[in-house]
């Protein structure tokens, strides 16, 4: 299994966004510290998801950056991605592990220690933990858990904890201090004028 990068860039495919431009800007800065998770809106067809994932996979390869696919594990397999990410509405973690195989990177969403331990027992190789802070990118989430919630999960598992939800370079130090191995972001890279510069800021915060 490839070693996991600390900066997870989740693609933003909302209207007006250019996810490939953001990936192209982030890759030369973060290189193998970058994990690109291809996440598409529900209305996206499998063909569109496949085309985006295939292009992201090709961009990641020269940098040895990890490419994951959110939810649609058949797309992950079809583009030979490094793995996938599942949550409560997706395939159960054990089923996802059977689909992807033993060597794949498999992320699972966890919001509290009990769920986190169950996800790891079922085969998750990392956990996405949040929402850490308020986010404008996704609706229907529970209240933010803050660094204390991240700490509770990190103390319960031995796999990497990736903090998600409203993460910025300014909030990274407290999340790292709480035990997060890395962070996952949408808006901090997709809604800024200079995603390359924003990537450098996040990497600096993650590696100092
Ligand atoms: C790193 C990371 N953590 C959490 C999530 C959320 O996944 P999920 O709960 O399945 O929700 P959707 O992203 O599918 O809407 C994630 N994608 N990545
Ligand atoms: C996709 C996603 N999942 C979350 C969760 O807590 O499960 S928060 C989130 C969106 C993260 O976007 P931003 O970095 O713009 O806040
Ligand atoms: Mg999901």
We report the CATH number of the domain holding residue 117 as 3.20.20.70
User: Is the whole model's pTM more than 0.95, yes or no?
Assistant: yes
| d(C-alpha 4, C-alpha 76), whole Å | 17
- State residue 166's pLDDT score: 98
The residue to mutate among 13, 43, 85, 183, having the most atoms of ligand 1 within 8 angstroms of its beta carbon, is 85
ipTM for this model: 0.99
Cα 130 to averaged position of ligand 1 atoms, centre (Å): 9
Contact 92, 116 (CB under 8 A): no
Q: Would 188 be classed as within a structural domain?
A: yes
Q: Would 84 be classed as within a structural domain?
A: yes
Q: Would 1 be classed as within a structural domain?
A: no
Q: Which atom of ligand 1 is nearest to the CA of 126?
A: 1
State mean pLDDT over 42-61. 98
Q: Would 154 be classed as within a structural domain?
A: yes
To the question of whether residue 136 is assigned a binding role by annotation, the answer is yes
State mean pLDDT over 79-91. 98
Domain count, the chain: 1
Q: Is 90 in the pocket of ligand 1 (CB under 6 A)?
A: yes
Q: Is 13 in the pocket of ligand 1 (CB under 6 A)?
A: no
Q: Would 65 be classed as within a structural domain?
A: yes
Atom 10 in ligand 1: residue holding the nearest Cα: 87
Q: Would 2 be classed as within a structural domain?
A: no
Atom 12 in ligand 2: residue holding the nearest Cα: 186
To the question of whether residue 109 is assigned a binding role by annotation, the answer is yes
Residue 208 pLDDT grade (very low, low, confident, very high; cuts 50, 70, 90): confident
* Percentage of the chain modeled with pLDDT above 70: 99
Asked whether the predicted pLDDT for residue 168 surpasses 70, the reply is yes
Q: Would 103 be classed as within a structural domain?
A: yes
Q: Would 165 be classed as within a structural domain?
A: yes
State mean pLDDT over 139-161. 97
Range in 1-5, 92-96, 141-145 with the lowest mean pLDDT: 1-5
Structural domain for 113, as ranges: 7-207
Q: In the chain, which ranges are continuous DSSP H helix?
A: 19-30, 46-60, 73-78, 93-100, 113-122, 146-154, 172-177, 187-190, 195-207
Asked whether the predicted pLDDT for residue 1 surpasses 60, the reply is no
pLDDT digits (tens, 9 = 90+) for 14-29: 999 999 999 999 999 9
- State residue 3's pLDDT score: 78
């Amino acid at each position: 299994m490839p070693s996991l990068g600390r900066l997870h860039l989740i693609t933003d495919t909302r209207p007006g966004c250019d996810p490939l431009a953001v990936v192209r800007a982030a890759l030369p800065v973060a290189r193998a510290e970058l994990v690109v998770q291809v996440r598409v809106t529900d209305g996206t067809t499998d063909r569109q998801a496949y085309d985006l994932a295939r292009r992201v996979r090709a961009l990641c390869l020269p940098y040895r950056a990890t490419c994951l696919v959110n939810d649609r594990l058949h797309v992950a397999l079809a583009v030979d991605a490094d793995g996938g990410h599942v949550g409560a509405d997706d395939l159960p973690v054990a089923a996802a592990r059977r689909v992807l195989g033993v060597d794949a990177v498999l992320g699972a969403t966890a919001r509290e220690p009990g769920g986190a331990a169950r996800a790891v027992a079922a085969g998750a190789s990392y956990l996405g933990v949040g929402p850490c802070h308020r986010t404008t990118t996704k609706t229907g989430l529970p209240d933010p858990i803050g660094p204390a919630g991240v700490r509770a999960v990190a103390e319960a598992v031995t796999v990497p904890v990736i903090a998600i939800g409203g993460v910025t370079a300014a909030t990274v130090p407290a999340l790292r201090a709480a035990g997060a191995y890395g962070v996952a972001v949408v808006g901090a890279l997709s809604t800024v004028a200079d995603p390359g510069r924003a990537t450098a800021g996040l990497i600096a915060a993650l590696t100092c």
